[in-house]
Structure 1
Amino acid sequence: MDLYESYIQHDRQRELVKLAGKLANTFSARAERFDREDAFPFENYSDLKNSGYVSLSVPKEYGGEEISLYEFVMLQERLATGDAATALSIGWHLGSLMELTESRPWKEEVFKSICTKIVNDKALINRAATEPATGSPTRGGLPETNAVKTEKGWVLNGRKTFTSMAKALDYSLVSARLECTKEKGFFLVDHSLEGVSIDETWDTIAMKGTGSDDLVLEDVPLPSSALVERDSNGNDKGGELPKAWLLHIPACYIGVAIAARNEAIQFAKEYSPNSLPGPIKDVPEVQRKIGEIELELFKARQILYSVADKWDKEPEKRVSMAAELASVKHIVTNSAFHIVDTAMRIVGARSLFRSNPMQRYYRDVRAGLHNPPMDDMVISMLARQALGE
């Protein structure tokens, strides 16, 4: 069964899924090697650049495809079936551009310039907002990274953690306090500047290939134009709209679940112990587990795609969709974890062999529970909404 045909709405989406599928198949063949060697997947990023994937969320007026949220989650889900770490990382790049395209908080000439570099030079960008002392910026902590005004612009000092694809980035959007005040801004930082370096701190068993090392900023000189966003309230910019582009996170993890589901079904069709007359796919308990997987997958994908579709087609409702978007992340990532766990029960002890992709899916899907928004924040948001606060 084609898992995408029922969700594809027109030919453009069919072509986009084909593109993501071709990349996913290529990435899948490399995934075990990169995972086993703790290597950063530079080859994957070369393929993403050469295919034009990196410019898909750039506005059409600046040479991109300006994909919709629905198309974004579909692409990311399919890409993650091949390599979840690469998919999650490039999702930050595409999603950041999608937010900027929708809200246009920058001066237009600066935005046009970065879009042109992405389209023509295949530049990569990500937000760098997490810090050792504050943890996730979604918790509301002010950054300790500090920007000091000078005659020529600004000087930036600080350290950012969880900077996905740090070694491959050309630019970062760095959050910083403005001269030790409570006012926060985002600076567009070129990684080729003096004082910008990467500290390879990423030592994890899950999502190894994101290469989410520390971005270190030591007396980085920036022009005045580098301050692209300001927020005196200490909150991330982007207007009053919730950050719908963060649906790339659950899309990635349900992609991992689909990969595990496919692996388990293939195993059930092929594995035939001599204690049985045929393969284990005929065993009622195996069929029950596969049925559970299909049901959980259907539930998660219906929620993911329906909310993304609502965002695209009913823009007047976007301002009130924060709870829905957060709920999607909670439901889908937890469903993905359950699907992978059930798939491993079908495969059995073989799923724990390093040569079996199941153990990588298990480690990677667990990371989704720690991406924003975290489960406790979602539950608290829903409770406050129900209580009318």
Structure 2
Amino acid sequence: MNFQKIESFDQQLDLMNILSQRFSTRAYQVDIEGSFPYENIQDLKDTGYTALTVPKKYGGREISLYEMLHFQEKIAEGDGATALSIGWHMGIIKNLTEKNSWNERIFKKICEEVKNGSLINSAATEPRTGSPTRGGKPETTALKTGANWTVNGRKTFTTMAPVLDYFIVSATIKDTNRVGNFLIPRSSEGIVIEETWDSIALRGTGSHDLILQDVTVPEENFVEQIGIDGKKPSGWLLHIPACYLGIAKAAKKHAIEFSLEYAPNSIEGSIINLPNVRQKIGEMELKLMESEYFLHSVAKQWDDSDEHARGKMGPILGAAKLTVTNNAIAVVDLAMRVVGARSLSMKNPLQRYYRDVRAGLHNPPMDDMTIQVLANHAIMDIQKS
């Protein structure tokens, strides 16, 4: 089956559920080895999923944010690393469609290649600047040389590095204060991937270092200048909490299945009937409900809003990410309390879920920044009234 040929959203979800179950069977091996889920990414490409956010004017489906987040959650139920990885690609294409900030000819070319299976991600984080959301200026540089640009630098956390066809690289333009994004094909000379990813969380994302050594690209590959516009609210980043929500759902499912089956001889029946176990399951369900309604309603609001209204959604987007991610951590913790010491076995998926959801605290926007934004928002509301 192919996502591109299925009209019904529910049928598309059914197909993603099949893929998610397949990803789940591979997750343990990828995690243990710290390898990359090549088969999962290929499955997503073969079924047409990776092209679903391509705009309609270029022959794509241009799915809504609401739909994309549901698909991303389902992927994460099978394998969080696969979900977070492909989420960047899906979201970037969606974001570029909404912003309409690139030269149309170049974006059309990228979309045509995406429809044929090409993958793209940004490379913005650097060793000395940390997360780009903190405002650090890239040490990666771009120098105009005739009709070309020459780019040099090192980027960290380049997710999906083993399979990316294009990198969107942020760089400071030499001898100026300007910062821009450069579209760099993987085939460019001077591209080196250094396999540095050794995280205990989301081990399968292949978030290695990208090294650029005198990489030359045409003038038109300076695709956009980064400035005030780069700080506008970005709905597509909700793919991040969607990933952790999916992992939390998988943790709840595992805890319930365990509780239905585990029957120690000290009690009658299984532990599912114990009040303390049911209490924890109820708490998990409550947190997941809170997360689902918050995340999905914000996504719907984004889909239904115009550019002006979206420009005011920064606080609620940050709040959704903070709430869903922290709820996911709490849900996995509760699931582990239900299962007990068995949850710490390397063969038990809960310990992987526990490691993976912690990574959400380090994805943008960070909690401290969100709280400051919310404080400013609340104060301004009172001052205006």
Cα offsets for 1:37-87 (capped at 9, x unmatched)? 111111111111101111011112212210101011111011100000010
Does the 8 Å CA contact 1:142/1:182 hold for their aligned counterparts?
no
Number of residues of Structure 1 aligned to a counterpart in Structure 2: 375
Tell me the TM-score normalized by structure 2: 0.95
- C-alpha distance in 2, partners of 1:184/1:96? 19
Q: Which letter maps to 1:21?
A: N
Q: CA deviation at 1:152?
A: 2.9
Structure 1 residue 269 corresponds to structure 2 residue 233: no
Deviation at 1:19, TM superposition (A): 2.5
Matched residue, 1:290: 281
| Aligned counterpart in structure 2 of residue 164 of structure 1, from 150, 153, 159 | 159
Query: Which of 167, 180, 183 lines up with 1:188 in the alignment?
Result: 183
User: How far apart, CA to CA, are the structure 2 residues paired with 1:114 and 1:349?
Assistant: 49
Hey, what's the Cα distance between the residues in 1 that align with 2:176 and 2:219?
18
Aligned partner of 1:4 in structure 2 is: none
Q: What secondary structure does 1:81 align onto? A: helix
Deviation of 1:236 (Å): 6.0
RMSD, matched Cα: 1.3
Contact preservation (8 Å) 1:129, 1:160: yes
Q: What is the aligned partner in structure 1 of residue 64 from structure 2?
A: 68
Q: Which amino acid aligns with 1:215?
A: L
Aligned to 2:242: 251
Alignment correspondent of 1:6:
none
Deviation at 1:241, TM superposition (A): 4.0
Listed one character per residue, the Cα deviations across residues 227-284 of structure 1 (whole Å, up to 9, x for unaligned) are 01013x4x563xx741110000000001000000000000000000011110000001
Distance in 2 between residues matched to 1:246 and 1:83, nearest whole Å: 19
Alignment of 1:45 onto 2:41: yes
Distance in 2, matches of 1:263 and 1:292, equals 15
Deviation at 1:18, TM superposition (A): 1.6
Shift of 1:386: 1.6
Return the letter of the residue paired with 2:185. Answer: D
Aligned to 1:7: none
| TM-score for the superposition, normalised by structure 1 | 0.94
The letter for the 1-side match of 2:352 is: R
Counterparts of 1:84-163 in structure 2 under 5 Å? 84-120=80-116, 122-163=117-158
1:242 alignment partner in structure 2: 233
What does residue 211 of structure 1 align with? 206
Tell me by how many angstroms 1:314 deviates: 2.8
Return the alpha-carbon distance in structure 2 between the equivalents of residues 218 and 119 of structure 1: 30
Deviation at 1:325, TM superposition (A): 0.3
Distance, in Å, in 1 between the alignment partners of 2:229 and 2:188 is 25
Question: Hey, what's the Cα distance between the residues in 2 that align with 1:170 and 1:363?
Answer: 29
Residues 1:177 and 2:186 aligned together: no
Q: Is 1:363 matched up with 2:352?
A: no
The answer to whether the Cα contact below 8 Å between 1:146 and 1:180 also exists between their aligned partners in 2 is no
Please, which moves more after superposition, 340-349 or 32-41? 32-41
Structure 1: 5+ residue runs without aligned partners? 1-9
Paired residue type of 1:376? D
Check if 1:82 corresponds to 2:64: no
